[in-house]
Chains A and B, each alone.
Chain A
Amino acid sequence: MLYFSKLRIFLVSLITLVLVFIAFSNLFNSEDSFFKKKINLGLDLQGGSYLLLEIDNEPVIEQKLQNLTSTIRNYFKDKNINLNNLKLLNKSIIFDVEIDNIDTVLASFLDENSEINPYYPRFKSHQMDVTENSGNFEITFSKQGLVNLNTSSQDQAIEIVRRRIDEIGTNEPNILKRGNNRILVELPGLDDPMRIKSLLGKTANLTFRFVTQNDDEDNFGVEKLSYEDGSEEAFVSKRIILSGDNLLDAQPRMDTQNNETVVSFSLDRVGAKRFGKATSTGVGKQLAIVLDGKIISAPVIRDAIVSGSGQISGGFTFQSATDLALLLRSGALPAPLNIIEERTVGPDLGQDSIDAGLIALIIGFCLVIIFMFVKYKVFGLITNITLVANLFLLMGILTIFEATLTLPGIAGIILTVGMAVDANVLIFERIKEEIKEEKNNVIAFDSGYIKSRTAILDANITTLLAAVILFFMGSGPIKGFSITLGVGIFTTLFSVYFIARLLTGLYVVKNKDKVGLI
């Protein structure tokens, strides 16, 4: 019926007014605004950088397998079981045992309390899968073992990434996990991500090791490493005297004696002790400072350093010393990160996009409004009021959810304006037909609303289905489009069935007997 209860009029007005109010809060600074929430602008509108990082876990897997190989060797040595041909081959550990020992060895891997092969009761899986064929064993990472490894290295990596980005002090960074080996970094307002990219591109694995004269001096093994500038190579012991984990602090500093920039560091108690011992026994030796497999510098030890602090020199500029100090303070990444996707939008392009989007919105809106008014006069006016209300409702809801508005999102709003008319047009056209047969305006209006309902629902459900799929399948900007399109459908239905219906109802009841009403 076209007569409405006072309560319904009150509720519809209340909801509309509240949402319009909330929509307006976007115009004010959120601190002193009456409503604290705000629509976020996507990176394509406010400018900024989007980086997708992938953790390269291959080295971690390799390292874990190496460790496990020696664990296995020691474990069975203690049990007096002989493992033959124990070696690492293509990501699996293989060895042979004598027939008598097969069951014992199998049991020590497959026991739920296994010391060498952790069991995850939640997933009913061991860390490693074991296959045995007449005494030939093959140990590989199980599916769950790999998942756990990925997850833990992702957890560590995201923490380090967060620390590094916080150190630079960018504006409200957004750092999120993606899948189990990716990290998404969003940096609003940053138009040149070069520095961050280079900081995130370094593992920052720092070690202090002695330089040896040739390749067989040390029983820990020796490797040949090149200097950072690529000028020379040197043999360096694999024995790690000190690693980045022992650092308490690192800062860039001007060394007034040599007039060069250095990175000074201080060590924790364990580190200081070790460093003191190594430097006192190694006076006269060269101590290599190795970062990510490259020698930064290899000074000769003149005195024992027991203070627990020191400095690294290596021909730094102030910038590179600052960055190295930052990397050392924030710690090493568990695995290298690769940037697999980057999207950066400068602030002026963002502003241009906002301007273009707003102009398109205003012009599109005006065109539609003029068209509707010319076509339907009074009812066109009602439709237009509904459209304006719809726009504010949409903004209000986006504000409540603190949704992110992107450029395609603005396009979604404009499209909503165009398509929101559809429901009203369906109703009005139907009413026109009804009036031809039914002389009573009120009844004609009522049946027009009722008979057009299925078509309107169908139309909106089909669009909503597309929006939902976009939301779940799409990324970034496309998500923004699907949100405005989807929310727009609900606000459209509300504004058509509550606001427009109320207004048409009031008008029609007042002009019950007017001929040619629409």
Chain B
Amino acid sequence: MIPFNKYYNQFNIISIVLIVFSLGLLFFKGLNYGIDFKGGTLIELRSTDNKINVSSLRDSLSQMNLGDVSVKKFGNDQDYLIKFEINDAKNDVIENIKNNLENSYGNNFNFRRVENVGPKVSSELLRSGIIAISLSLAVMLIYIWIRFEWQFSLGAIVALFHDVIVTLGMFSLFSLEINLSIIAAVLTIVGYSMNDTVVIFDRVRENLRKYSDIKIFELTNISINETLSRTLLTSITTLLALLAIYIFGGEILRGFSFAMILGVIFGTYSSIYIANTVLVRLNVTQKTVLREENKD
């Protein structure tokens, strides 16, 4: 049996540091919102001419009064991502850029993807994204509250917030773009993390009923170990699938799969080291589980 419980305190401190650090990042550095949430225009351009590169593109676009233009390489060597914020989304700005680039480079490029999100739509998308995440957290809270005693619910929720905050903190740290698919990833993380916690809690509760003489400190450790091979197996297969998406799924899915990979790692960690320690600190005993049953 692996003595997970030996490190409860250490990992709790690490997690608190991580959360404070993440909140600090989110507060002071903020998130790098993509055009979905900030509004603006995105063009994915593929060139067949080696005269086209980041600096030459930047030069030709800077004369067009587009405001702050960002040009980046995107995956493949000949692909570039052009982004800028325009507030009064003129309907012909994309055509103008195309003409301008055609004048400089001829027909040696094409626009693979064009996205243009107006300020009204982006603020609506941001709002519905925030609502979706809050709503799913609320629904999970209700579900877990119905299924378990309040000590367990608290443990699961603390673990859940830990995962979401730390994942978003990582996005802030590395300035990764937050777009619609990241919201989907965060929601899936919420589901995954909850699922992981619930499996261990199920076992803790079962063991609480079985053994009256074992302290919760030991009991959580036994339960973690009993479910450990399942936890690892599921994490590994899920990570294998996610790694396949991250490596082979193309540039568009990269942010999404990265968020999910982080989420699965933190989710697995938090169900062992966060959720369980909440039970220990609340000193859950056999009575907690039995009292609840007598009530029914």
CB distance from B245 to the nearest CB of A (A): 5
C-alpha gap A340/B40 in the complex (Å): 10
| Proximity bits, B114-151, A CB within 8 Å = 1, else 0 | 11111011000100110110011001100100010000
Q: Which of A52, A361, A410, A466 has the most CB of B within 10 A?
A: A466
CB distance from A45 to the nearest CB of B (A): 11
CB distance from A359 to the nearest CB of B (A): 5
CB distance from A203 to the nearest CB of B (A): 14
C-alpha gap A414/B245 in the complex (Å): 8
CB distance from B153 to the nearest CB of A (A): 13
* A54-B120 in contact (CB<8A): yes
Closest to A408 in B: B181
| Proximity bits, A443-465, B CB within 8 Å = 1, else 0 | 00000000000110011111111
C-alpha gap A438/B235 in the complex (Å): 29
CB distance from A339 to the nearest CB of B (A): 6
Q: Which of B46, B95, B194, B250 has the most CB of A within 10 A?
A: B250
Q: Which of B180, B203, B230, B245 has the most CB of A within 10 A?
A: B245
* B111-A342 in contact (CB<8A): no
Pick from A345, A356, A361, A477: contact of B112, CB under 8 Å: A345
Tell me whether A119 is interfacial, beta carbon within 8 Å.
Answer: no
CB distance from B189 to the nearest CB of A (A): 9
CB distance from A518 to the nearest CB of B (A): 12
Known contacts A364-B243, A458-B195, A466-B188; can you find 11 more A-B pairs with CB under 8 A? A339-B89, A357-B249, A360-B247, A364-B245, A411-B256, A418-B237, A425-B230, A429-B227, A465-B140, A466-B190, A469-B135
Number of A-B contacts (CB under 8 A): 218
CB distance from A246 to the nearest CB of B (A): 29
Contacts of A115 in B (CB 8 A): none
Q: What size tier do the contact residues of chain B reach? A: 35 or more
C-alpha gap A372/B237 in the complex (Å): 8
* B143-A353 in contact (CB<8A): no
CB distance from A225 to the nearest CB of B (A): 23
Contacts of A475 in B (CB 8 A): 125, 128, 180
Q: Which of A310-334 contact B (CB under 8 A)?
A: none
Tell me whether B166 is interfacial, beta carbon within 8 Å.
Answer: no
Tell me whether B50 is interfacial, beta carbon within 8 Å.
Answer: no
| Proximity bits, A470-491, B CB within 8 Å = 1, else 0 | 1001111110011001000000
Q: Which of A133-141, A194-202, A493-501 lies on the face that meets chain B?
A: A194-202
Tell me whether B110 is interfacial, beta carbon within 8 Å.
Answer: yes
* B113-A469 in contact (CB<8A): no
Tell me whether B202 is interfacial, beta carbon within 8 Å.
Answer: yes
* B147-A473 in contact (CB<8A): no
* A346-B113 in contact (CB<8A): yes
- 8 smallest beta-carbon distances between A and B, as pairs: A418-B241, A364-B244, A356-B250, A466-B191, A473-B132, A418-B238, A340-B118, A360-B249
Q: How many residues of A contact B (CB 8 A)?
A: 71
Contacts of B118 in A (CB 8 A): 338-341
C-alpha gap A122/B203 in the complex (Å): 57
Q: Known: A367-B241, A477-B180. Contact between A360 and B248, CB under 8 A?
A: yes
Q: Known: A356-B250, A425-B233, A425-B234. Contact between A458 and B198, CB under 8 A?
A: yes
C-alpha gap A434/B94 in the complex (Å): 65
CB distance from B158 to the nearest CB of A (A): 16
Q: Which of A323-382 contact B (CB under 8 A)?
A: 338-346, 348-349, 352-353, 356-357, 359-361, 363-365, 367-368, 371-372, 375
Tell me whether A502 is interfacial, beta carbon within 8 Å.
Answer: no
Tell me whether B101 is interfacial, beta carbon within 8 Å.
Answer: no
C-alpha gap A138/B95 in the complex (Å): 47
Tell me whether B236 is interfacial, beta carbon within 8 Å.
Answer: yes
C-alpha gap A463/B187 in the complex (Å): 9
Q: Known: A343-B115, A407-B252, A419-B234. Contact between A473 and B199, CB under 8 A?
A: no
Q: Which of A408, A429, A462 has the most CB of B within 10 A?
A: A462
CB distance from B223 to the nearest CB of A (A): 12
Contacts of B116 in A (CB 8 A): 339, 341-343
17 sample A-B contacts, Cβ–Cβ < 8 Å, listed by A number: A198-B91, A341-B117, A342-B115, A360-B250, A360-B253, A363-B247, A364-B244, A367-B243, A368-B241, A418-B240, A458-B199, A459-B198, A466-B140, A473-B131, A474-B132, A474-B180, A477-B181
